[in-house]
Amino acid sequence: MAVMETGENHAHAFPHGQLEGCLSTAAELVSLLEDEGAVLKSFDGDRLLQLLPRKEFLVNDLYRRLRTLESGGTGSGVAHGVSGEDRVAELKNLLKTIESLNGFNRIFIQQSLSHWRQFMAAVDHSGYGPRQGAAGTALLHKGFNFRGEA
């Protein structure tokens, strides 16, 4: 998301409270995405299901905070100058890290789903047993429907 830049003397002038809120939320999201990556690698489905509601909340909260920051929402004090520019640069770096970690996790999920689809295609072979007509085929596939959403 674009961060609003204003004026020549103050490269970045943002409400301090809003900027700090974005930084805090983004840092927490980075930590959660790192945890999510470790959970995905260990194939711990139960732990992944525990992380997902918090991830969804943080993504939505960060989006809302960034929109408020972008539109020049109110906050306590204004951050500008060198330290304000440093904080904005820190936020941009965190957003890039979030994008990178989430992209890695998405690719891991997609590759895992692809692997399991190929595995299921291999074991869903006539050499593994007789078919019992349409009813038998329906039972064979029940529970093996993978979706590619990440």
Which residue would you say has higher pLDDT here, 1 or 38?
38
What is the tens place of the pLDDT at every residue in 118-148? 888 777 766 666 555 555 555 555 555 555 5
- Provide the mean pLDDT of the chain: 78
* pTM score: 0.66
Give CA separation, 109 vs 59, 82, 104, 127, 141, in Å: 19, 40, 9, 29, 21
pLDDT (0 to 100) of residue 53: 97
pLDDT (0 to 100) of residue 41: 94
pLDDT (0 to 100) of residue 131: 57
Residue ranges covered by each domain of the chain = 14-109
